[in-house]
Amino acid sequence: MEINQDNLLKILDGLALGDIHYFSQVGSTNDVAAEYAAKNAPDLTVIVADEQTRGRGRRGKKWYTPHGSALAFSVILKPDHLPIHQIARLSGLGGLAVWEGIQSTTNLDPEIKWPNDVLVDGKKVSGILAEAKWEGNQLKSMVLGIGLNITRESLNIPVKLNFEPTYLEAHLDYSVERLVLLRNILEGLNHWLSLINSSEFIRQWESKLAYRGEKIQLNINDQELILGKLMGLDNAGKLILLSEEGEELRFDIGEIQLRPLVDSHRI
């Protein structure tokens, strides 16, 4: 089924969402979502694009969405879902929603590379960019932007990525119906949003983490590398590492990058 406004409205019917806007081409769905949020769009408004020309990734990187090859969408979230000190959970929400959507649409068992990249067979299939709009110290809205590579064409991009990418259909022997996958991700988002304040939310996010119990390195702002064993998550979604000296360290989502330690992968 082709992605267009009518088909989107049909497939997403019955989900607890705000407005739904489709664009065949945009710069970045996160930017469009921020504009709608500034005009007071309802909670859970969804912006979907078939192609992005200025898609953005974390840490100022570009994110490419060639026409018809991927899912690229953003969801506006109002701040009243959870207390401000738990805001990192919104980042985990994206990872859990994509994890659940992929799992219920395919027979694949993805993992979440903390905080919220989604991996299939150890390669990145989806990236999530959570952005917040503040006025003073008041959170006005959040935009959760999700990009998911589906066909081979999604990797037709002009740069080499520093974490090996993949696309969903590389792991399947059939084509993926993008609209069905989108519905299943948004269903997952509704489900995990209803549990966002629970301990089950953190336990589920933690249980899907890649490299748990393994030795990893954390790259902090491209300036510092920290080695340690990945133990899990604390209540606020911080990553708990056991350092080589046996000290328990906690890391905020911030601008931290995580990758497996290729040589001595396991302790």
Of residues 127 and 188, the one with the C-beta less far from ligand BTN: 127
* Number of residues located near ligand BTN, criterion CB under 6 A: 20
- For residue 38, give the H/E element and its range: helix 29-38
Least distance to ligand BTN, CB of residue 58, Å: 4
Least distance to ligand BTN, CB of residue 32, Å: 9
Q: Which residues between 224 and 263 bind ligand BTN (CB under 6 A)?
A: none
Q: Is 170 exposed, middle or buried (CB count within 10 Å of its CB: 0-12, 13-18, 19+)? A: middle
Of residues 127 and 228, the one with the C-beta less far from ligand BTN: 127
Q: Which residues between 110 and 149 bind ligand BTN (CB under 6 A)?
A: 117, 127-129, 145-147
Q: Which residues between 192 and 211 bind ligand BTN (CB under 6 A)?
A: none
Q: Please, what's the b/e burial string for 198-230 (b: 16 or more CB within 10 A of its CB; e: otherwise)?
A: eeebbebbbebbbbbeebbbbbeeeeeeeebbb
Of residues 56 and 178, the one with the C-beta less far from ligand BTN: 56
Which residue(s) pair with 216 in the sheet? 228, 260
- By CB under 6 A, name the one of 37, 44, 72, 196 that touches ligand BTN: 72
Of residues 128 and 185, the one with the C-beta less far from ligand BTN: 128
Could you list the beta-strand ranges (E) of 32-122. 46-52, 70-77, 111-113, 117-120
Q: HSE (CB half, 13 Å, CA atoms) of 254?
A: 12
Q: Is 172 exposed, middle or buried (CB count within 10 Å of its CB: 0-12, 13-18, 19+)? A: middle
Helix (H, G, I), strand (E, B) or coil at 83: coil
Q: Does 28 bind ligand BTN (CB under 6 A)?
A: yes
Of residues 119 and 193, the one with the C-beta less far from ligand BTN: 119
Q: Does 57 bind ligand BTN (CB under 6 A)?
A: yes
Q: Does 69 bind ligand BTN (CB under 6 A)?
A: no
Give residue for tokens 């921020």: 34
State the Cα–Cα distance between residues 158 and 179, nearest whole angstrom.
27
Which residue, judged by CB position, is nearest to ligand BTN in the bound state?
Answer: 127
Q: Point out which residues bind ligand BTN (CB under 6 A).
A: 28-30, 52, 55-58, 61, 63, 72-74, 117, 127-129, 145-147
